Amino acid sequence: MPERELTVGVGAGGLATADMVLNIGPQHPATHGVLRLRITLDGERIKAAEPIVGYMHRGAEKLFEVRDYRQILVLANRHDWLSAFSSEIGAALIVERMLGMDVPERATWVRTLLAELNRVLNHLMFLGSYPLELGAITPIFYAFREREELQAVMEEVAGGRMHYMFGRIGGLRDDLPMGWTGRVREAIDAVRRRLPDLENMLVGNEILQARTRGVGILDPKTIAAYGVSGPIARASGVDVDLRRDQPYLAYDELFAPGGPGRVVTREAGDCLARLEVLLEQVHVSLELAQACLERIESLGPGPVNVKLPKVLKVPEGADYLATENPLGFNGYYLVSRGDKTPWRLKLRSASFNNVQVLSTLLPGTLLADMVAILGSMFFVVGDVDK
């Protein structure tokens, strides 16, 4: 949409205007959480924008330092409450790598399956909430209907609906319940069958396109400068996906040539491209989940965890491991001095970096575009503030 400039002149000096500072948040319907944006407005045009974070800072990194490795998982799945499983697996993986621990194959495949289902759950949430911010009230109900389908199988296996607490150092908490894989298959089929409903509300909708096409264009240089990752980076043509580039869990096999895994990218870098990436990633993740299911069934029964010593101590050293969380890179830098608690566990969360880019993205846009751009950055405030 080309910008049109309108200059109104009254008298000799033109119309005298004053800028207005508008605080979006920390309590505001568009920020879904407590992100605060301080915006300087000239009429409806944004002159400056500053994201102010930290209203929900819970000191996760400091809390990690006084928890043993089993307890850390409880906290690790909470900063990004929409990617709980992916985050807790990341924490488990770094500890396992430093311990040199081998995880049973069955556990690895189940972990991969749950991580992909978690990705679908996360993306469906944003596919519902983003149109809501653009004023479309129906997609969120369709998205939640599908989420409920997957939540049911997640709850059946893990007992929780958001904070799964199913991963353990060395594997998983329990084996799968009887007949669970069949129910997952049914759930995936049901979601696939009804996903067109959600897509009909979004794909090709002229109003949605008018609001998102060409709005909030992110270029690869800015992405590199701010460390933006995940679907947002890929929507600008940055072809990075840790599942393929630094495979963990069972992804090296899934993303091998001929495998079901593929990295979804777009070139436009605008809000529409970001939404499209999300939508297509749902399809890819469902395919990956299906492949995991087949693999789990063909593997047959087996152990899903290893016996841990009573006191788990990670050998002295430091290591960094990042996973491709639904919203982007989620990294853990673990420094151990041989104690049963980490000496330092740095958390690199995706949303924190993704939100910072707003200060360069927003100036020059309209207030209504602010909502479109903010929503398309797909962040979780807990993940920003940690």
Partner 1 sequence: MAGDIVEIVLRAVCVLAAFLVLPLLVGQTEHKVMAHMQGRLGPMEAGGFHGWAQLVADGIKFSQKEDIVPLAADKRVFRIAPALGIVSYLFALAVIPLGPHTVGADVPGSLVWVLAVGGIGTVGTLMAGWGSGNKYSLLGGLRTAAQLVSYELPLILACASFAIAAGSLSLVGIAHAWTPWWLLWQLPGALVFLVAATAELQRPPFDMPVADSELVMGPYTEYTGLRFALFLLAEYAGIVVMSLLLGVLYLGGWTGPFDHQIGWLWTLLKGAIFAVLIIWIRVAWPRLREDQLQRVAWLGLVPLALLQLAITAIGVVVTSR
Partner 2 sequence: MTKFLSGLAKGMATTARTMTTHAHTQQYPHVKPELPSRSRGVIALLEENCTSCMLCARECPDWCIYIDSHKETTPPTTEGGRARQHNVLDRFAIDFSLCMYCGICIEVCPFDALFWSPEFEYSTTDIRDLLQEKETLGQWMPTVPAPEPLVPELPQTEAQQLVVDVEPEDDPAAGRTTKRGAGEVPRPGTEEQP
Contacting positions for partner 2 (CB under 8 A): 67, 70-71, 73-75, 78, 138, 142, 145, 148, 152, 155-160, 163, 165, 168, 171-178, 197, 200-201, 203-209, 300-307
Secondary-structure breakdown of the chain: helix, strand, coil percentages, each rounded to the nearest 5: 50, 10, 40
Between 182 and 364, name the residue whose CB sits nearer to partner 1.
Answer: 364
Burial class (CB in 10 A: 0-12, 13-18, 19+), 298: exposed
Q: Least CB distance from residue 8 to partner 1, whole Å? A: 13
Q: Least CB distance from residue 145 to partner 1, whole Å? A: 6
177 makes contact, choosing from partner 1, partner 2, none, with CB < 5 to 8 Å by partner type, with: partner 2
Q: Least CB distance from residue 141 to partner 1, whole Å? A: 4
Between 276 and 287, name the residue whose CB sits nearer to partner 2.
Answer: 276
Answer yes or no: are the C-beta atoms of 380 and 33 closer than 8 Å: yes
Between 100 and 300, name the residue whose CB sits nearer to partner 2.
Answer: 300
8-state DSSP, 266: -
Q: Least CB distance from residue 136 to partner 1, whole Å? A: 4
What sign does the CA torsion over 47, 55, 123, 206 have? negative
Q: Least CB distance from residue 175 to partner 2, whole Å? A: 6
366 makes contact, choosing from partner 1, partner 2, none, with CB < 5 to 8 Å by partner type, with: partner 1
287 makes contact, choosing from partner 1, partner 2, none, with CB < 5 to 8 Å by partner type, with: none
Please enumerate in sequence order all residues whose Cβ is within 8 A of that of 156, keeping only pairs 6 or more positions apart, or say none. Answer: 177, 180, 183
Angle 109-240-30 from CA coordinates, rounded to 5°: 95
Answer yes or no: are the C-beta atoms of 90 and 312 closer than 8 Å: no
Q: Least CB distance from residue 172 to partner 2, whole Å? A: 8
246 makes contact, choosing from partner 1, partner 2, none, with CB < 5 to 8 Å by partner type, with: none
Q: Least CB distance from residue 173 to partner 2, whole Å? A: 6
Answer yes or no: are the C-beta atoms of 158 and 165 closer than 8 Å: yes
**Binding footprint of partner 1 on the chain (CB under 8 A):** 1, 4, 20, 22, 28-30, 44, 131-138, 141-142, 145, 201, 205, 207-208, 210-211, 366-371, 375
28 makes contact, choosing from partner 2, partner 1, none, with CB < 5 to 8 Å by partner type, with: partner 1
Between 51 and 167, name the residue whose CB sits nearer to partner 2.
Answer: 167
Q: Least CB distance from residue 190 to partner 1, whole Å? A: 13
54 makes contact, choosing from partner 1, partner 2, none, with CB < 5 to 8 Å by partner type, with: none
8-state DSSP, 22: E
232 makes contact, choosing from partner 1, partner 2, none, with CB < 5 to 8 Å by partner type, with: none
288 makes contact, choosing from partner 1, partner 2, none, with CB < 5 to 8 Å by partner type, with: none
Angle 385-352-52 from CA coordinates, rounded to 5°: 65
Answer yes or no: are the C-beta atoms of 336 and 343 closer than 8 Å: yes
8-state DSSP, 8: -
Nearest to 301 by CA among 116, 115, 177: 177
Q: Maximum CA pair distance of the chain?
A: 84
CA distances 269 to 184, 202, 377, Å, are 34, 18, 11
